[in-house]
A and B are shown apart, each in its own frame.
Chain A
Amino acid sequence: MAPDRVSQKAVHLHWRTARKWVQVLFFGVFILLFIGARRGSWAPWIINLPMRLDPLTMLANTLASRSWLSSSLLALLTLLLTIILGRVWCGWICPLGSLLDLFNFHSGKKRVINPAEGWRLVKYSLLVAVLTAAIFANLSLLVFDPITLLWRSLSASLWPALDTAVSAVEKTLFAIPFLQDPITAFDGGIRPLVFPQTPALYRDGALYALVFFGILGLNVFTPRFWCRYLCPLGAFLGLISKVSIFHRQVNESCKSCGVCAANCPTATIDPNRQFASDPGECIVCMDCIDDCPRQSNTFVAGFGMARWNTYDPSRRQVIGLIGATVVGVALAQSPVDPNHPQPHLIQPPGARENGLLEKCIRCGECSRACPTNAIQPATGEAGLVGLWTPVLITRLGYCDYSCNACGQVCPVQAIPPLSLADKRTEILGVAVIDQNRCIAWAQHKPCIVCEEMCPVPEKAITLEKPPSSDGSPIPDRLRVPRVLTDQCIGCGICEYRCPVGGEAAIRIYSVKWHGSLEAKELLDTPETT
């Protein structure tokens, strides 16, 4: 801190400074966990902490999956914290909140454009919609959860972008002879700590960036626009904060100077109500305590329910919202069911039998863990219901025969934690050869890359002499590939490595699954790590 500021407020405990360091700490931990979430790094339970501490995703998952995960009990910690201290999660812990504080466009005397107070209702509406939809086994709206949103934006968009940028800089500097050694050392030493061994390629990275920067951009209107008006987790914790034990109170020494109201990041301090605030909106940043010239702002303990404001949802609104959500859920039904599988909906190992759509919280941890970046957020493959749930894009990556990381890191077991031996026999789909595009079939040139790559011990692709259909001469040694459908596990390395340009000549298609007891038993006895 600059010395002049210290001398000005030497008597004060600097809440603001303390809070900033706590925010930096939690944000740093979040980023570290994100970095460590690559396969082969840290234990899953550590990586999962952010998701499991998030009560909204855990509650929605419990409602939608109709099953109880003991690990989701961790979210009770957050709830407990909120009951005692209010929305400290938002003000001190939430990494997205901290980012929004960092991207504050109102540092000077820039005008804040406060929307009407009624806009605060939006976040409560979103919360009602998330939970109602969850009861109807639809978790699509969890795309608005701040923790999963941030993780997904990082993994599918921001981190790959950073990776690309670093690679470009490396490549540029590598051309300078005397820099080659340091760049090589960086590339082999530091870079692998932060970025994947093979550069990640994600579809639609810009889409996630757009959502992410859109949320940051809303800060142009007011500080923490997202937290005030939109965040469903904030709404959840806000409702609980209505009964929080510690809450803000203004004492008699107040001379109505209005500093607190002017500086409040959520603008919940109301000059028209003797500078009282709504605990549901207060993120306990403590700025008002730091800024108050008379120490009139205090936090006191006490029981009771805070008043219900005009922007808080009324009973009628809640009922209306529930109705609207039910209609919405029904409309969003897409034909993703085992008997009508979408041809290119290849889900992570074991996820399909496990009912992924009813469990997945869209956090993108599997996608982050996947060493080949085969797992990507679904855009169209799983319909609206499955927006941004994991799907394997086997032209961009393949299911590594030596890896079972996705099931291990999934915080809600939407992808079952299969042992490597079980994962190796898990059927994701089936490979189909397009004989019109295949080099060996169509051009009668030798190419057996798919067979070479097939990791199944007995090979799910055989090579045979081609039938001479059109009388054209066939080279003696030419062999053409054929898929042994009952052996194929659909890992997709054949499609990934197929040398045909553009769409591969061998593709993975989804297969029907009618449910089997065997698969269920498998899920009931998850292997421990």
Chain B
Amino acid sequence: MNHLTRRQLLRLVSVGVGALSIEQLLAACGETATPTSLPQPLASTPTQLSATGTLPANTDNTPIEAPTPTEAMKALMTPTASSKNTLAAPAGKSGAKYMVVARGGEPEVLARQAFAALGGMEAFVKKGADVIIKPNICTAYHTYEYATTTNPWLVAALVKMALEAGARRVRVMDSPFGGEPKEAYAISGIADLVAKAGGTMEVMSNLKFKKTDIPKGKAMTSWAIYEDILKADVLINVPIAKVHSLAGLTLGMKNLMGVILYREDIHMNLGQMLADLASRINPTVTVVDAVRILVDHGPTGGSLNDVKKLDTLIVSKDIVAADTYAASLFGKKPDDLDTITAAAAMGLGSSDLSSLNIEEINVGA
């Protein structure tokens, strides 16, 4: 028998590796060459998605590139032209507001007006900044109408705004606990809209979870945290407001659970541990997505009966204040939530809304 020589074997192996890289190249080309108009979850997989699988043509959410840009631009130029203060800002504080709550419009318009009131995205994202957006993409189970994952139009709007402000790159990532990241990204609709907005979806790599000291931590002094989240110039935390049986609600601080390893293990003292995490991760700005909120059976959801549409956005540098306001949407007081109590006690932010300069914008009015 004459058989394969070592040289032949090596040659074949290199051909194989070459073919694989070409496949990747081709796949990459295909992705940008044929953008689809709406998020199309799992079009080519063996999985058949039934009722929840395809995104219905929604009436209340305009696709991001569709009708609103001019209106949004107008809003950008004159921040308060179409807005109405329902809560008077404390006198003497005419500068950028502490927290903005925008209601009654498309996610992109809400985001643009809210950020405009805070001094524009430029106030957070400097030219050449490396930006990470952390939405809540907890599972691959349901599409956005089920309010289990962050609104894709909102995430895409933030990507666009960060790029307009001069960001070097904008990455979007989360680590789902149910289902695979890529499927979850696709089903949430976020993958598609983010790609179109010019951002990149990143699947979190196991290599980059590093044991990190948490100097201010009371219940945890170190934990495995995703390195890039800590290294990024700007971290935009975009939780969707949902109920959660232990945390009470899953909001800004709870959303940070997606950037650590061994999440199951922090439930025994969840409130303090989430506050500890927030003290270390310290997002640049928190945008609470209350376009739709999940009022029961969270965080996984799955029934439209549990979804309430509020068309509301809460934006603040102060994660505690943002969470506190979001909690009020569910009729909860700060004391009801261990996370908020713990974080306020650590001085991470303010849970006393009455002392804050909050601007409420009603976009629809």
Contacts and interface: CB of A to CB of B under 8 A. Distances in A.
B297 A457 contact: yes
A466 to B, nearest CB: 14
B251 to A, nearest CB: 15
Interface string A438-458: 010000011111011111111
B1 A265 contact: yes
A493 B21 CA distance: 35
A527 interface: yes
A275 interface: no
A404 B179 contact: no
A459 B297 contact: yes
Interface stretch (A181-189, A230-238, A375-383, A510-518): A181-189
A213 B181 CA distance: 35
Interface of B, secondary structure class, is loop
B297 A24 contact: no
B135 interface: no
Nearest to A454: B300
Contacts of B181: 197
Interface string A486-511: 00000001000111000000000000
B233 interface: no
Contacts of B244: 452
B269 to A, nearest CB: 8
B221 interface: no
A454 B177 CA distance: 11
Nearest to B246: A448
Interface string A364-377: 00000101000000
A400 B179 contact: yes
Contact of A498 (B21, B206, B264): B264
B300 A193 contact: no
Contact of A40 (B12, B16, B47, B202): B47
Nearest to B267: A447
A197 B183 CA distance: 11
A453 to B, nearest CB: 7
Nearest to A455: B300
A174 B46 contact: no
Contact of B301 (A198, A402, A403, A457): A457
Nearest to B298: A452
B48 A419 contact: yes
Contacts of B37: none
Given A40-B46, A171-B207, A371-B180, A20 B4 contact: yes
Interface stretch (A68-76, A100-108, A345-353): A100-108
B3 interface: yes
Interface string B111-142: 00000000000000000000000000001110
A54 B309 CA distance: 55
Interface string A448-489: 110111111111000100000000000000010000000000
Interface string B232-260: 00000000000011100000000000000
Interface residues of A, number: 70
Contacts of A463: 245
B265 interface: yes
A198 B180 contact: yes
B204 to A, nearest CB: 10
B20 A194 contact: yes
B73 interface: no
Contacts of A183: 207
A402 B177 contact: no
Interface stretch (B49-57, B81-89, B160-168, B347-355): B49-57
A457 B206 CA distance: 30
Nearest to B7: A2
B34 interface: no
Given A174-B207, A402-B47, A420-B48, A452 B246 contact: yes
B267 A449 contact: yes
Nearest to B176: A402
A190 B24 contact: yes
Contact of B1 (A104, A401, A404): A104
B299 interface: yes
Interface in B203-218: 203, 205-208
A198 B208 CA distance: 14
A453 B300 contact: yes
Contacts of B59: none
A113 to B, nearest CB: 16
Interface of A: 16, 20, 24, 28, 39-41, 43-44, 101-102, 104, 106-107, 167, 170-171, 174, 183-184, 187-190, 192-194, 197-199, 223, 263, 265, 287, 369, 371, 400-405, 408-409, 419-421, 439, 445-449, 451-459, 463, 479, 493, 497-499, 527, 529
Rank and list the top 3 A-B pairs by shortest CB-CB distance, nearest first. A457-B302, A421-B50, A408-B46
Given A449-B267, A493-B178, 5 more contacts: A170-B207, A197-B203, A455-B300, A456-B302, A459-B297
11 contacts: A20-B3, A40-B183, A107-B1, A193-B20, A197-B203, A401-B140, A403-B183, A452-B300, A458-B302, A499-B265, A499-B267
